[in-house]
Structures are given as C-alpha cells and as structure tokens.
Amino acid sequence: MMRRHKTLALLSAAGFLSFLSHHAASSTVSAISVPLAKVVSQSQLIVIGSVERIPILHAPDATKHDPGLRYFEVRVEEVLKPSRNGSAKSPQGATIPIFDPQETFYHERADLIAAEVISFADPRYPTKARPIAAGDRLVFFLAAPGKPQKSPLPGAYFLACGQAYDTLAIKPAVLKLLKEVR
C-alpha cells in the first residue's frame, strides 16, 4: 500500500489524470432541479435587468483552444430582493457582470471532466428563458458578489445556481414568495 502511494506521488499531473482515467470508474453528474421557492430563498439579491451583451472572458494565460467563459453584462433596472449585507451598494442603475456558477465550474474543471475522474452535482433552475440574447429583460437570482467562487471580474456576481434567471412572467410569483418570507 505504501509503495502505491509513493508511485502516485511521483506521477506528473498529466500522467496522474491519464492514470485515473484508465483505472477509475467514469465520473457521474447528478442533475438537480432547484425549484423557484428554493432559488428565491437562497438568493442574496434578486434583480430585473436587461442583457446588454454576452461577452466571453479569456484568462491572460489561456491557450488558443480555450473557449473562454461566457457571462452576461446586465443593466439592473429594479431590485426585487435587496442584499442583506448592509454595506453592499445597490446595483440598481448599474451594469454588472453576471457569471453562471455551473458554467464556471465546467470551464475550470474541463480537464477532469474530460478525463471522467470527477463526480459532481449540477444544480440548475428550470428556466423558461432560453436562449438568452442581448436586449432580453429577465429576472436574475444572484448569490453574494464573488460567491461561491472568486470573482473573475471586479464587481462580478454569480447566479444563485446554474441558469438562475427567468422571464418577467415569473415576477408575481417571486414577489409573492418574498412577501411570505417577511
């Protein structure tokens, strides 16, 4: 047993991934649907905004094969649920970058996923807003700024879970849920 641990410790990162992909069971993805009530309660901030652009962020050290990371530049028009953090400035009227935490996860762990050596949960809100385009007005369910991951851009927000946005038709249901919580 000790010999095996020493051998694994000596393998390079690429060799280790190759070793695992040939000797480990394939990875599993557990898709989890997050209902509206849960995404509302888990959100630190809920806003209505217009998608201004959908740019791609490339890391300075990215290879030419790296597809980059998509995010939304959203002009916040209305705050439905303000942040509980009293020191946080309201984003109303501002244009903020919003990242999908699941897209970020897939991007950051692409090598492990391709090698089928990672198992993970994939929590997603069952949105009716697909695909998103510039000009769309949507409800965005947001985590605290920079959470759950480190912000890739200054002032960036993350969705509360994967695809945590919806059409404006959901606004009355969101307001009703927020009223019940208060």
Q: Model confidence over 94-126: pLDDT tens digits? A: 999 998 876 665 546 556 556 666 666 677 788
Residue 26 pLDDT more than 50? yes
Q: Does some domain include residue 22?
A: no
Asked whether 140 and 164 are in contact (CB, 8 A), the reply is yes
d(CA 33, CA 170): 17
Q: Does some domain include residue 1?
A: no
**DSSP 3-state of 5:** helix
As given in the structure block, the two tokens for residue 71 are 């995010």
Is the C-alpha dihedral spanning 58, 61, 63, 66 positive or negative? negative
Q: Does some domain include residue 12?
A: no
Q: Does some domain include residue 21?
A: no
Q: Does some domain include residue 89?
A: yes
Q: Does some domain include residue 54?
A: yes
Range of the domain at 154: 28-181
- Looking at the structure of the chain, the number of domains it has is 1
Cβ-Cβ contacts under 8 Å for 24 (sequence gap 6 or more): 116, 117
Q: Does some domain include residue 15?
A: no
Mean pLDDT of 71-78: 95
As given in the structure block, the two tokens for residue 148 are 């759950």
Question: Which residue type is seen at 50?
Answer: S
As given in the structure block, the two tokens for residue 89 are 């400035």
Name beta bridge partners: 142: 45, 159
Q: Does some domain include residue 7?
A: no
d(CA 14, CA 80): 47
Mean pLDDT of the chain: 76
d(CA 5, CA 33): 38
Mean pLDDT of 54-78: 81
Q: What is the pLDDT of residues 139-182, one digit of tens each?
A: 999 986 654 456 677 788 989 988 899 999 999 999 999 999 76
Please report, for the domain that includes residue 141, its CATH number: 2.40.50.120
d(CA 36, CA 33): 10
Name beta bridge partners: 167: 138
